[in-house]
Amino acid sequence: LAEESGVLAGRPALEQWRLDLADLNARADALARSATALQTRLASASAKRGA
């Protein structure tokens, strides 16, 4: 019975882990896009200063 309860109790935890992982991936993608945009802005500003 304890093993069955553990398996049943583990399923919601696994689903929550999957949701958390999906959220983390989405946040990482957003951060990467922000970093790319910042690099572009910095490169543009640097080019204007050098021109």
* pLDDT per residue as tens digits for the range 2-42: 455 555 566 788 999 999 999 999 999 999 999 999 999 99
Q: Nearest Cα to 49, choosing from 12, 37, 41?
A: 41
pLDDT of 23 reads 98
pLDDT of 50 reads 83
Gyration radius (Cα) of the chain, Å: 22
What span, in angstroms and rounded, lies between the C-alpha atoms of 49 and 10? 58
pLDDT of 11 reads 78
What span, in angstroms and rounded, lies between the C-alpha atoms of 25 and 17? 12
pLDDT of 1 reads 44
Is the pTM higher than 0.85? The answer reads no
pLDDT of 30 reads 98
